[in-house]
Structure 1
Amino acid sequence: MEDAPYRRIAAALAARIAAGTLAPGERIPSTRQLMAEHGIAMATATKVLATLREEGLVEAVRGVGTVVAAAEGRAPLPDRAAVVAAAIAIADAEGLPGLSMRRLAGQLGLPTMAVYRFVVDREDLVLLMMDKVMGDNPPPPMPGDGWRARVEAIARLQWRMYRRHTWLAQAVSFTRPLVAPNAMAHTEWTMDALPGLDPTTRFTAAVLVANYVRGTAVNLAEEAQAEQDSGLTEQEWMRAQEERISGVLADARHPLMASFITSPAAQHFSLDGLFEFGLQRLLDGLAPLRPA
């Protein structure tokens, strides 16, 4: 999605200010100059200057015009890698809802508009974050002990990746996938791990495995948010519900549920265990597709 013209122009000016090519006290283009240079309306040019004023980057000086404000406390402009790393740190700590361009700019000590020098918009930022995480977790060397061990290896790698970055599962889509080279490398590796199948089946199976891992991992973000909101871990929350659960099971209408919940296995039930159980059943389902 393309940015509004005023924001794109303001971002370019903010980047020049942050880089020092527009120095404190130096005049910036007037509304009429902006109109002529960019082919924009007066209202849009006025909004450019208003945005820069709101960011504290420029100020009006009587008899001079709009000039670059003093640079006290202004941080040097980072590179794109630093911007993406800061965004990942915020998302790791606060989830995707906590990540905004303003929040990111504050973390970097920059005016909000300066961030737009590096990313088009928030969607572009999330794509770069996702691809960075995928690049930091490349597929392993191909195991030599069969297709099943290979698929297990990539699935467990992705599960660990989602565990470290609980927001990531929310960013990944299989219906409207973002074009991320490092994510595509994961798919290519999984297809390579399944020789003997036609290309369509290999691709579908690779996406199926990745979608299973991602679909299970969505719960990690929800659990992290619930823990943050309630202050209780998953185990602490379950213990707090014991009386309520016992009351529901007391009427004997759910004997199978009761037999499990009162068993030792219930104490060890977790998303990790659910992931492993489901992964093995998924691989069992793929096995008949393999050539004899």
Structure 2
Amino acid sequence: MADAQPIWNRPARGARGPAPSHSRAEIVAAAIAIADADGLPAVSMRAVAAKLGTAAGGLYRYLSSRDDLLDLMTDRAVGELEPYHDTSGDWLDHLVALGRAQLDLHRRHPWLADVIQRPSAVGPHALSFFDRCLGVLAPLDAPTSAKFEAIALMTGTVVLFSRSAATGPNPFAGLDPTAHPHLAAALANPSDPGRQDLFDHALRGLLRGLLTP
């Protein structure tokens, strides 16, 4: 059975057993390397142990389960958003910049979208990210609930765009839209110089709608 305490509140290794040959940080780094190369399903205690040149059973001196490992991987990845830049100036510009940094993070680690919204994955770096976002939003006269909703929806938008065809090839390529006149008209003139960055445009519209009168 997995430990009832969050992984963040437990020692980095068990008190029993021989001296550690690897740190928790090394285990997490190995797991992230596997996930980046081969996807999240490839991450197992056995695969991580093999990458470190040790026995899978030895990892249980550091972790109680694969879920612990996924939580640590998630928070380590979120930590790549740090250090944060100064939050003075326009709140919307700063929050969109944080969203853009999130999107870049998800593109570096495509597996992150599958684990980021697990309740157990909210660790120290995730708390720092929420705190920074709330700091950016502090000058706004908006309910706290609306601010939390905006941060959550910003992350949801990041996940959507990290997975969406909007960031990749045209999903209509090779299809004949002539039987669908509205789609055909739109595809005939797809460019809009004012909206080259769909992510930026969508996120700004969402945040304004949620947080301003």
| Interval of TM-score (by shorter of Structure 1 and Structure 2) | 0.7 to 0.9
1:199 aligned to 2:134? no
The structure 1 residue matched to 2:92, chosen from 148, 163, 169, is 148
Amino acid at match of 1:186: F
Q: Name the residue aligned to 1:160.
A: 104
- Cα distance in structure 2, aligned partners of 1:187 and 1:209: 11
- Cα distance in structure 2, aligned partners of 1:139 and 1:211: 22
Contact 1:130–1:171, Cα closer than 8 Å, also in 2: yes
Q: Name the residue aligned to 2:209.
A: 285
- Cα distance in structure 1, aligned partners of 2:157 and 2:48: 31
Query: Bigger shift: 207-216 or 88-97?
Result: 207-216
| Identical columns (%) | 33
- For residues 85-164 of structure 1, the aligned pairs below 5 Å read 85-138=29-82, 140-164=84-108
Deviation at 1:186, TM superposition (A): 0.9
Deviation at 1:98, TM superposition (A): 1.2
Amino acid at match of 1:100: S
Contact 1:15–1:114, Cα closer than 8 Å, also in 2: no
Contact 1:15–1:117, Cα closer than 8 Å, also in 2: yes
Deviation track 1:246-287 (CA, whole Å, cap 9, x = no partner) reads 2xx233xx1121123344649xx9xx9442232122133135
- Cα distance in structure 1, aligned partners of 2:161 and 2:120: 18
Contact 2:49–2:55, Cα closer than 8 Å, also in 1: yes
- Cα distance in structure 2, aligned partners of 1:177 and 1:216: 23
| TM-score, length of structure 2 as denominator length | 0.79
Q: Residues 179 and 238 (structure 1 numbering): CA distance in 2 closer, same or farther, change over 3 Å?
A: closer
The structure 2 residue matched to 1:250, chosen from 178, 183, 190, is 178
Contact 1:86–1:104, Cα closer than 8 Å, also in 2: yes
Deviation at 1:150, TM superposition (A): 1.5
Contact 2:28–2:72, Cα closer than 8 Å, also in 1: yes
Q: Which runs of 5+ in 2 are unaligned?
A: 4-13
Deviation at 1:211, TM superposition (A): 2.5
Amino acid at match of 2:152: V
Structure possessing the higher relative contact order (Cα contacts under 8 Å, 6 or more residues apart): 2
- Cα distance in structure 1, aligned partners of 2:49 and 2:206: 43
Deviation at 1:152, TM superposition (A): 1.0
- Cα distance in structure 1, aligned partners of 2:120 and 2:27: 23
Deviation at 1:171, TM superposition (A): 0.6
Contact 1:88–1:129, Cα closer than 8 Å, also in 2: yes
Amino acid at match of 1:90: I
- Cα distance in structure 2, aligned partners of 1:210 and 1:150: 15
1:181 aligned to 2:109? no
Deviation track 1:67-117 (CA, whole Å, cap 9, x = no partner) reads xxxxxxxxx821111111000000111111111111111111111111112
Q: Name the residue aligned to 2:2.
A: 2
Contact 1:139–1:154, Cα closer than 8 Å, also in 2: no
